[in-house]
């Protein structure tokens, strides 16, 4: 989880400029916008959007593979940023923004395509909107707020649930009658678990937004 949390100053600022790597030099010259982690984050966003386009075009399995690949990128960006010592507040903001943007695009698409139950999509959207509002409040109050462990786990379960809903739709084209039903049940379970983690994360973010102290667990 700490891989996704940056300190108040970029990693490279703690290193003698004479010892900067090429990536650290580029990061410094671009005010932290061009880093390995940010490149991976944006690539992940492209893959998720590409996958959603496949789904709209009637290729749910191809779309699911691209979406999974894009979401794996979300787990890699923090590790790469840490390994290259290019973590920064800008990178942390890019990571969080990409997460929210991917979800904001995916939810309406999947609901419109009839692949995600409206109630589940609404609950996921509501919880994430609450987090965005709390982040805005924290920024206005100049309170420090970082991605939380519960938030990351909750989002992983949310995407897992959406993936199972997609698989259940794809399985309708197969020969098994029980597979779609079992996948739907598993998706419902993951959705409920994700919302549990999401509510816990929202509570943590509310503390960070309304109480002037850094909370990130």
Host domain of residue 208: 114-217
Per the listing, tokens 């420090």 go with 144
The per-residue pLDDT for 87 is 92
In a domain, 17, yes or no: yes
User: Residue 54 falls within a domain, yes or no?
Assistant: yes
SS3 18: helix
pLDDT tens digits, one per residue of 94-140: 998 999 999 999 999 999 998 999 999 999 999 999 998 998 898 88
> What is the pLDDT, as a whole number, of residue 174?
54
Mean pLDDT confidence for 136-152: 84
Task: Please tell me the predicted confidence (pLDDT) of residue 24.
Answer: 94
Query: Within this chain, do residues 3 and 59 fall inside the same structural domain, yes or no?
Result: yes
Same domain, 123 and 208: yes
Tally of domains in the chain: 2
Tell me, letter by letter, the H, E, C secondary structure of 41-101. Answer: HHHHHHHHHHHHHHHHCCCHHHHHHHHHHHHHHHHHHHHHHHHCCCCCHHHHHHHHHHHHH
Q: Render the burial of 93-115: b for 16+ CB within 10 Å, e for the rest.
A: ebbbebbeebbeebbebbbebeb
> What are 13-54's pLDDT values in tens digits?
999 999 999 999 999 999 999 999 999 999 999 999 999 999
Q: Is position 105 within any domain?
A: no
* pLDDT in the model for residue 146: 78
What digits encode the pLDDT tens for the residues 65-101? 999 999 999 888 888 998 999 999 899 889 989 999 9
- 126 and 214 within one domain: yes
| Predicted TM-score (pTM) of this structure | 0.86
Question: Given pLDDT bands bounded at 50, 70 and 90, which one contains residue 64?
Answer: very high
Look at the block and give the residue holding tokens 């598993």.
186
What are the two backbone dihedrals, phi and then psi, of residue 174, each rounded to the nearest 5 degrees? Answer: -90, -170
Percent of the chain with pLDDT over 90: 59
Q: Is residue 78 part of a domain?
A: yes
């Amino acid at each position: 989880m700490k891989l996704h949390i940056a300190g108040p100053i970029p990693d490279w600022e703690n290193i003698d400029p004479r010892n900067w790597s090429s990536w650290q030099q580029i990061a410094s010259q671009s005010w932290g916008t061009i880093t390995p982690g940010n490149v991976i984050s944006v690539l992940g966003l492209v893959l998720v959007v590409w996958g959603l386009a496949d789904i709209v075009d009637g290729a749910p399995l191809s779309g699911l593979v691209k979406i999974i690949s894009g979401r794996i990128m979300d787990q890699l960006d923090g590790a790469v940023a840490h390994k290259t010592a290019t973590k920064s507040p800008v990178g942390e903001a890019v990571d969080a923004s990409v997460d929210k943007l991917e979800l904001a695009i995916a939810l309406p698409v999947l609901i419109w395509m009839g692949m995600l139950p409206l109630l589940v999509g609404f609950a996921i959207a509501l919880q994430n909107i609450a987090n965005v509002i709390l982040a805005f409040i924290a920024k206005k109050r100049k309170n420090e707020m970082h991605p939380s462990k519960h938030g990351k786990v909750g989002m992983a379960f949310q995407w897992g649930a959406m993936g199972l809903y997609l698989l259940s739709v794809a399985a309708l084209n197969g020969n098994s009658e029980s597979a779609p039903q079992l996948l739907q049940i598993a998706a419902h379970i993951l959705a409920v678990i994700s919302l549990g983690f999401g509510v816990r994360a929202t509570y943590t973010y509310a503390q960070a937004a309304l109480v002037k102290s850094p909370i990130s667990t």
